[in-house]
Amino acid sequence: MPRSLSGRNFLKLLDFTTEEIQYLLELSKDFKRLKRTGTPHKYLSGKNIVLLFEKTSTRTRCSFEVAGNDLGMGVTYLDPASSQMGNKESLEDTAKVLGRMFDGIEYRGFDQNIVEDLGRYAGVPVWNGLTTEFHPTQMLADVLTIEENFGRYKGLKMVFMGDARNNVANSLMVVSAKLGINFVACGPKDNMPDEKLVATCREIAKEHDCTITLTDDVKEGTKNADVIYTDIWVSMGEPAELWEKRIKLLSPYQVNDEVMANANPDAIFLHCLPSFHDLETSVGREIHEKFGLKEMEVTDKVFRSPQSKVFDEAENRMHTIKAVMYATLK
Ligand code: CP
Ligand code: NVA
């Protein structure tokens, strides 16, 4: 059993031991069972949490809200326009005020430093709902989905295709190293995760009998993969002008039939979502008009195939976020 997580922040997975991450995964499974069987679990009734979003969200916000309600807590949502944070009040003051009123604080936004500072000053647990560098709650849902499909995660090969220097790719590399998953970042050479983070992850990976590989070779990278993962090519907070450059750079790393055929026959496809796999979004249509692409990081066919587990993965956001809140607030 890991030491209690009560009172801890959840800012990045580098701060957590393998045992602590495994404990959160076990707890997530328990909460999924309770939810599926309709068993009430208002274990944190009387507590209150606040969700601070400086970027948009569907899954993360709804997961925190539903999980908070299921645990019996009061949930307050603040978007950038409806708080004073950063405009009329410093981050430090905001953290101290919110810490006096709430039992836990979720933050989604920009620099990792912001959420680290919130964690330093709030005096109550702070949870990272995505920063430019990391997306740790997403990782628990991803690994839970992998385990549900293979009955294990240790020793498997997971390949991240595309924008390998973004928050999701960074976090997948960290969680893989901690849990013994062989991780491959497959993308253009000059678009790889930060060298220092790669070195740190390689050190951690050594202790868990797994490897961290960076490659620009799609055939080699995806060969015998168990999990093929991708994410959008331009992340929130990045300028729209980047689309043209990224389309040129990342199109060779699209997840399509060829990629899936090169992976193991029982490989699964994961994506944190949202995804540009058809023309049903305004951004997707705009890109189509400008550059002629109908689908981007993944083809519509792969996205809708039986190998795609993206909606199980999205559901698991809620169960895993519930586990994080419970473990840190109980
Ligand atoms: N995967 C994820 O974080 O989705 P949202 O941006 O909708 O929260
Ligand atoms: N890399 C994406 C992840 C969205 C969940 C972004 O930051 O926009």
pLDDT for 122: 97
The low-confidence residues of the chain, meaning pLDDT below 70, are 1-2
Ligand 1: which residue has its CA nearest to atom 7?
58
Q: How far is the CA of 100 from the centre of ligand 2 (A)?
A: 31
pLDDT for 81: 83
Q: Is the CB of residue 236 below 6 angstroms from any atom belonging to ligand 2?
A: yes
pLDDT for 83: 79
What stretch of H or E contains 161?
Answer: strand 157-161
Is 135 catalytic? The answer is yes
Is 61 catalytic? The answer is no
Q: How far is the CA of 150 from the centre of ligand 2 (A)?
A: 26
- Taking Cα atoms as reference points, which of 57, 6, 55 lies closest to residue 317? 57
CA distance 164 to 19: 27
CB-based burial of residue 120 (10 Å sphere; 0-12 exposed, 13-18 middle, 19+ buried)? middle
Ligand 1: which residue has its CA nearest to atom 6?
57
pLDDT for 134: 98
Residue 63, both tokens: 């997961």
Residue 196, both tokens: 């220092």
CA distance 207 to 19: 13
Ligand 1: which residue has its CA nearest to atom 4?
59
Chain centre to alpha carbon of residue 21? 14
Is 36 catalytic? The answer is no
Residue 263, both tokens: 């992976």
